[in-house]
Amino acid sequence: MYNMSLKSLQDYKGANSSKTLYDFMGITELAANTFRVTQTAERMKKNDVKGINQSATTAKEVGKEVRDIMLRSSGVAPEDLPLEGDISSVKKLIKSANKEMKKLDSPKKKISKSKKSEL
């Protein structure tokens, strides 16, 4: 799908090589990779693919087709999709936002008449 090795892809995207690229992919790139993997598996079942060589050839063919679809649809190659924040950081942001939303949604405490008169 990327027309390059994993190491070359990491270098091209400027990704930290100690972590997996999947932790930094946006939804479009994750979806494309999931689609590529599932469609490779389906084609291998359908065509009764056996052995490493046939499997690698099938994976390469499907990857090229997914890449071509992405280029036709958006004009952006998968390797040119931007990296997102580290998934662990994103999880923290979501958790924090969820807490804030709960605060906003919680019923407001009523101020008693005596407190109002003090204001």
116: in domain? no
pTM: 0.70
68: in domain? yes
Per-residue tokens: 100: 């804030």
Residue partners of 62: CB distance under 8 A and separation at least 6: 36, 39, 40, 43
Task: Determine the structural domain holding residue 31 and report its residue range.
Answer: 6-108
Look at residue 117 in the predicted model and tell me its pLDDT. Answer: 62
114: in domain? no
The per-residue pLDDT for range 33-88, each reduced to its tens digit, is: 999 999 999 999 999 999 999 999 999 999 999 999 999 999 999 999 999 877 77
Tally of domains in the chain: 1
